[in-house]
Structure 1
């Protein structure tokens, strides 16, 4: 069996997609040494990113870029390499010379369309449903996502598989906060938020709750916001300015993978008030490093972190303010 993995997210900045595909690229060849795996990329990987294994190859096709790549370059690679199966995510090309499986992490573009730009949302709503219906199998990273796929797209249940994901071993109670604290000049006490800055993460709601925790409950610890700037992010920065939080909220932007365990380990508390998630890695990463989390009641977070973390309605500003002030001590 020869499997081609469209693993282009591993070349991007740290996101859940990158963690997912990097984990697959590293683990699958070890799990199935009798199979051959080829990692399809649109650029060369950095040295050491992928393991040196006899059944793992890399195929790079740098053109065309962007949204046309899976529609043009992926079928060409599948044909040239004569693979038996293609693994991709979300959008599949209209034609592939072999069966494919698609990973769909969430359908937020369907459930919360206003959290996407018009173009991105329309692209996904038009192309993901037929891609899922043509797939030999659909992989969902939570039972909540699987339920959404069945409910919204009417897919045959036998073809939609729940496949949970794990964590990098770097996220552990042994993570040392000292190096990243010194390098980024972090305060000794802080609250933490991790995730791409985009509307679905509900960071405007988090900032409102944090402001209320400071004004009504005496919270004095700063809030660090970690994550690359995504789409429709300007209201987040505007909210911080409007609430006068410039001195107490620090936007760190994207941080290296190696720094995240230390950031979690040094935090008092990690806050994750998302409106919707397909899984939600940051809460589990934080818990693995020994730092408590508060998550919203969205089904995927209640499934993955809810058993060991307080859950609150995402839009209940007063409840989030009280909880963060109480847990921060």
Structure 2
């Protein structure tokens, strides 16, 4: 059975959708069985190169096509249908919303990661809102199967757009094997020294953008820092859009000396950094899944996260849930965890057990079942 996976919408820097794409492709292709895969990807993203494996063919397209939306449209709507016809593809799986409108009988599968193009349009560029809303609406009528990464995202789509019965599957993300809680003390010390961190620190990992609600985290941390000058706030991740306001607020609060920005951290440092932190905070206003929260649990990091969207679904009872719009709620949760060694211990035990239910092997297996279910239709 021939499957073409369109990974061209994946960003080169591996955050969110990129982590999903890399791990899904890795686990799908390491044991392809009766499936033959053709992977369409940008030519500057060699982390997605699985072409050395049996039954895998890589199809590279110039990355410059994706800097201009009009060129991307031509690739998705002219070149991709041509490939489907030429290669006699039976299922095409688009990993990032947009899909070919003409497929010559090839069945379509699309992954929806969240509904922010509808629920939070202010966090996207206007042209992208128009582009992706168009495809998301069309998916309801034209796609054979939609994959949602959480039940929350599925419910949002059902409310906003409506979904035919049996038209969608919920297939959660997994966590990599490197996310574990048994790193030796020497490795934790080394990662603290590398990034200039104190023994005790509050950690956030993710893109720096308004949706992640970091301004309220900074406000909550200001209250903590007034009581404990030895605690640091560490913000690790790439700069997103509209990040300037966060830095201005930090200056106003005179917190610059207590906050460390690491930038986009090396992949090999991410798990040890999570294992080393005193508490991990993920106060996002909206998530389709919330992979950083899952990875933090896997590393045994005492975790505080939002009581909204998919996050309660991911963390279960293994983390403290707060109202992300309440600075007081955030600060109270931080104070509670930082002041209680017993609570930290309970959360460090509960996290890895909860995270063990989410694996990329399971994600890949359930996705392959979707492909095979198309075969019988």
The alignment's TM-score, normalised by the length of structure 1, stands at 0.92
Match of 1:102 among 106, 110, 113: 110
Gaps of 5+ in 1: none
1:157, CA displacement in angstroms?
A: 2.9
Q: Which runs of 5+ in 2 are unaligned?
A: 340-377
Aligned to 2:133: 125
Q: Supply the distance in 2 between the matched residues of 1:314 and 1:157 (Cα, whole angstroms).
A: 33
Instruction: Note if contact 2:145-2:169 (Cα within 8 Å) is conserved in structure 1.
Output: yes
Matched, 1:192 2:203: yes
Q: Deviations over 1:124-173 (max 9, x none)?
A: 22332213431110001111111111111111131111112211100011
* Worse-matched range after superposition: 37-46 or 82-91: 37-46
Aligned to 1:65: 66
Shift of 1:49: 5.6
Other-structure match for 1:56: 56
Instruction: Write the distance in 2 (CA, Å) between the matches of 1:47 and 1:285.
Output: 20
Distance 1:84 1:50 in 2: 20
SS state at 1:3 partner: strand
Give the conservation status (yes or no) of the 8 Å contact 1:5–1:38. Answer: yes
More deviation in 25-34 or 62-71? 62-71
Does structure 1 residue 241 correspond to structure 2 residue 251?
A: yes
Distance (whole Å) between structure 2 residues aligned to residue 38 and residue 177 of structure 1:
40
Give secondary structure in 1 for the equivalent of 2:38. strand
TM, length-normalised to structure 2: 0.81
Corresponding residue for 2:231? 221
The question of whether the paired residues in 2 share the 8 Å contact of 1:283 and 1:293 is answered with yes
Instruction: Give SS of 2:330's match.
Output: helix
User: Does the CA contact (< 8 Å) of 1:90 and 1:103 recur in 2?
Assistant: yes
Cα distance, 1:298 vs. partner?
Answer: 0.6
Do the aligned partners of 2:29 and 2:37 also contact (CA within 8 Å) in 1?
yes
Q: 68-77 or 93-102, which moves further after superposition?
A: 68-77
Per the TM alignment, residue 184 of structure 1 is displaced from its structure 2 partner at its CA by 2.5
Aligned counterpart, 1:209: 220
Deviations 1:4-26 (A, max 9, x none): 11123666112110111111111
Greater Cα shift, 155-164 or 123-132: 123-132
Q: Distance in 1 between matches of 2:216 and 2:313?
A: 22
Q: Is the 8 A contact 1:292 1:309 kept in 2?
A: yes
Larger mean CA deviation between 236-245 and 200-209 belongs to 236-245
1:278 aligns to 2:284 (yes or no):
no
Kindly indicate whether the alpha-carbon contact (under 8 Å) linking 1:9 and 1:21 is maintained by their aligned counterparts in 2.
Answer: no
Q: Does 1:74 align with 2:80?
A: yes
| TM-fit CA distance, 1:309 | 0.7
1:85 aligns with 2:91: yes
Instruction: Tell me the distance in 1 between the aligned counterparts of 2:209 and 2:41.
Output: 26
Is the aligned partner of 1:13 residue 2:13?
yes
SS in 2 for 1:229: coil
CA distance in 2, matches of 1:159, 1:136: 7
Deviation (angstroms), 1:57: 1.9
In 2, Cα distance between equivalents of 1:283 and 1:161: 22
Return the alpha-carbon distance in structure 1 between the equivalents of residues 289 and 193 of structure 2: 31
Which deviates more from structure 2 when the two are superposed, residues 314-323 or residues 7-16?
A: 7-16
- Between the aligned partners of 1:9 and 1:186, the Cα distance in structure 2 is 35
Deviations 1:21-45 (A, max 9, x none): 1111111124541111121112154
Hey, what's the Cα distance between the residues in 2 that align with 1:9 and 1:255? 22
Aligned to 2:22: 22
Aligned residue among 127, 144, 148 for 1:136: 144
What is the alpha-carbon distance in structure 2 between the residues aligned to residue 48 and residue 126 of structure 1?
A: 27
Aligned residues: CA RMSD: 2.1
